[in-house]
Amino acid sequence: MGRKIDDNKKEMAFALYMQGEQNKSISQRVGVSEKTIGSWSETFGWKERRAAVQVSRPEIVNQLLKKVSDMVSENKLDADKLSKIASAIEKIEKKDNLFNYIQSFMDFGQWANKLVGTELSSEDLKMIVRLQDRFIQEKL
């Protein structure tokens, strides 16, 4: 039964981590050490997942367009590189809805987190995060 409790704590910690909570706050709320939160973050790739959802589509597109601009200004316009950048921008545009979903889910998660203990239980919040994660995985 101890393993089930650990899994529940880990799920709750992940939900809080993805909402931008600091390890200290998460450890206090979940009832495990900060070191454990850090270990879970490293082991299960939480940092990368949080970083992936925090980079906006416009930021990525702007960086790619700046690269094109630099290539033009330096007279290093390479058709192959330009084609690859254009392809990357096209893929990002297709994933635009995915970025919007993720941002909406993060905003909703922060709002729902405020309701834990009054209108929502921690189990409700974990279920919401699981469903959101499943939704995003199906859209990939």
User: pTM to 2 decimals?
Assistant: 0.44
Are 50 and 61 part of one and the same domain?
A: no
Distance CA 46, CA 36 (A): 13
Are 50 and 90 part of one and the same domain?
A: no
Total count of domains within the chain: 2
Are 84 and 18 part of one and the same domain?
A: no
DSSP-based three-state secondary structure for 22: coil
pLDDT of residue 1: 46
pLDDT of residue 41: 92
Cα maximum dimension of the chain: 65
Segments in the chain below pLDDT 50 = 1
pLDDT of residue 38: 93
Are 71 and 135 part of one and the same domain?
A: no
Domain span at residue 70? 57-94
pLDDT of residue 8: 79
